[in-house]
Amino acid sequence: MTTTDSFLTEAPPVHWISRAAFPIISTSLFATQGALGYAVYREWWWLAVPLVIVCCHLMHGMLIGFHEASHRMLRKSRLLNEIDGQLIAVFSLMSFTLYRAAHQTHHSHLGTERDEELWPFVLTKTPRWARVLAAFLELFAGMLFTPLLFLRTFLRTGSPIRSARVRKRIWMELTLMVAVWVCILTTVAALDLWKYFLWMHLIPGAIAANLQSWRKYIEHVGLTGSTVRSATRSIVADGWVGKAVSLTLLHEPYHGVHHLRGGLFHAEMPHYASELHPELPEERAPFPSYTRALADLVRGLSDPRVGAQWQHVSDQRPESNVHARV
């Protein structure tokens, strides 16, 4: 879709807070982690619990920063972009290069059987019980399921990642990840820091990974359209709370814009919200909140599927195309 020059001219400049979203998220996370560590040290559990909740959301924002880095859009500096991506990858049990390679299939083949990121929901021959099980594991054990999902893409027969150079780099990154975690866990065990590891990393990290999975499912699962707008749920909130959430999630709620304009810096995506309005009967208007989009997702979780190929399956149930925008 091409945007007119007049629209580009009229688009307001990006606010500095929007541009600084990732530094704000990362600084806030470090500050919250420091406060959480002190609360755990003093055993102020009444304070530790809300701080963990804040950490969960900020860690989710960092995972979206990892996604932005895979598009080389997190930092202006190529070197800093790669460093940030590699650091987040290690602590997320991921290979940065593997994620980048597999994520390209998601953009190139959205919702088709070649979309590795939405396996197994894009495969019409996958039994319903297997898709339901995969959804359950990804939504409630995302910290482990997501790395395994990408490892499957890398290790399976017929992997789309064929470059010998890329595969070598992935093996190096996986080796580095294992070495770093051996050092971390050895240090934690030697100094008996399990209490801090549990509260400051494992609990918020596991919940953040699940939040990442739920957001991914909200964006695509249950949709069987053939265009970006019919295969993607976007959220365009009008209130300040919704806009704050969007900022701390690096404007990922404007997900349809991200698919329409993959090379767009996240801070600029709100300016292209008008491109999310439906142009075909099957296409979906943006939701006004994650709550509305979540309700739409939940209706299809009993039989999770993604992609227009499901339209030709005899037991296909009609997709809900009408939702309120208030």
**pLDDT by residue (tens digit) across 262-277?**
889 999 999 999 999 9
**Cα distance between residue 59 and residue 53, in whole Å:** 10
Whether residue 316 has pLDDT greater than 70: no
Scan for tokens 């600029």, then name that residue. Answer: 268
Specify the pLDDT at position 60. 98
Q: pLDDT tens digit string along 103-158?
A: 999 999 999 999 999 999 999 999 999 999 999 999 999 999 999 999 999 999 99
Specify the pLDDT at position 184. 98
**Cα distance between residue 202 and residue 102, in whole Å:** 26
**Cα distance between residue 182 and residue 184, in whole Å:** 6
By the 10 Å C-beta count (0-12 exposed, 13-18 middle, 19+ buried), 274 is classed as exposed
What residues contact residue 186 under an 8 Å CB cut-off, 6+ apart? Answer: none
Q: pLDDT tens digit string along 224-241?
A: 999 999 999 999 998 899
**Cα distance between residue 124 and residue 259, in whole Å:** 23
More confident position, 252 or 326 = 252
Specify the pLDDT at position 4. 38
Identify residue 125 by its one-letter amino acid code. Answer: K
Whether residue 98 has pLDDT greater than 50: yes
**Cα distance between residue 310 and residue 307, in whole Å:** 6
- Range scoring the smallest mean pLDDT among 10-19, 102-111, 177-186, 190-199: 10-19
pLDDT band at 51 (very low <50, low <70, confident <90, very high): very high
Tell me the residue ranges of DSSP E strands in the chain: none
By the 10 Å C-beta count (0-12 exposed, 13-18 middle, 19+ buried), 168 is classed as exposed
Whether residue 242 has pLDDT greater than 60: yes
Residue closest to 173 by CA, chosen among 89, 239, 247, 246: 89
pLDDT band at 73 (very low <50, low <70, confident <90, very high): very high
Give the three-class secondary structure for 24: helix
pLDDT band at 179 (very low <50, low <70, confident <90, very high): very high
